Amino acid sequence: MSAPRIQFKTLKGFPPIVEDKIETVAFLESAKEIVTVIETFGKLFTPVINDMNGNIVKLTKVYQTDRLKYTYIEDMIVLNLNVNNIAADALLWLKRGLQLIYTFFENIFYDAQGAEVLKPHLQNAYERTLKPYHGFIVQGTIKLIYSWVPTRSQLIGKGEAHAENLQVLEKFLPTMREYLNRIDLLLKKYNLDVPKA
């Protein structure tokens, strides 16, 4: 039996937020880790991977212009409000990508039937997160991607491996959710969460 593509126990996950602000480096490292997880889904997911990586790179570049000033994501966004929106735009799209993956994992976790086919879970996650912001062509591409989602067994394993993955996922999801909620509030507070396309 082959090992599951994702082993949540090997991931560091999003560290608990101990301060009032999100540490930029901790957030970007955790986001990068999520991208490596998506890479296990297969080559058809390359557009999602490239998009998320591109936004991580943009945020990293802004951070590197002044590491002290931008120790926290909130400061990076607020201090650039009237300068340019590169950081805000990158954070917005990265958040949306992370929300897609979070919702997909949440759907898998809460599926009482433990369905083997995960396509409906990804479809539901996409419709709840990214679809309102995508045009017709991108939506068509995503529909193609649905068909190539690995099965539950391929992705998180069977038997003991599956049980262990769900156990770790139970701890993984709330912390990731907290990051997404805080970023959501930040972007909305400064009217940076642009409406649907």
Q: What is the pLDDT along the chain (197 residues), one digit of tens a residue?
A: 578 999 999 999 999 988 899 999 999 999 999 999 988 887 778 888 899 999 999 999 999 999 999 999 999 999 988 777 899 999 999 999 999 999 999 999 999 999 999 989 988 998 888 776 765 656 566 666 667 788 999 999 999 999 999 999 999 999 999 999 999 999 999 999 876 54
Residue 191 falls inside a structural domain: no
Q: What is the pLDDT of residue 197?
A: 46
Split into its structural domains, the chain has a count of: 1
- Residue 130 in domain: yes
pTM of this prediction?
0.91
Q: Tell me, what CATH number does 69's domain have?
A: 1.10.3520.10
Q: Alpha-carbon torsion 183, 185, 188, 189, what sign?
A: negative
Q: What is the separation, in whole angstroms, between the first and last Cα of the chain?
A: 44
Structural domain includes residue 96: yes
Give the model's pLDDT for residue 72: 97
Q: Is residue 31 part of a domain?
A: yes
Tell me the C-alpha to C-alpha distance, in Å, between residue 154 and each of 89, 100, 118, 158, 159: 34, 20, 10, 8, 12
C-alpha to C-alpha distance for 29 and 34, rounded to whole angstroms: 9
Is the residue at 141 inside a domain?
yes
Q: What is the residue range of 177's domain?
A: 8-186
Question: Crossing angle for the helix pair 119-128 and 136-146, nearest 10 degrees?
Answer: 160
Any domain includes 192:
no
Own/partner contacts of 111-116, CB < 8 Å, gap of 24 or more, are 114/152, 115/152, 116/151, 116/152, 116/153
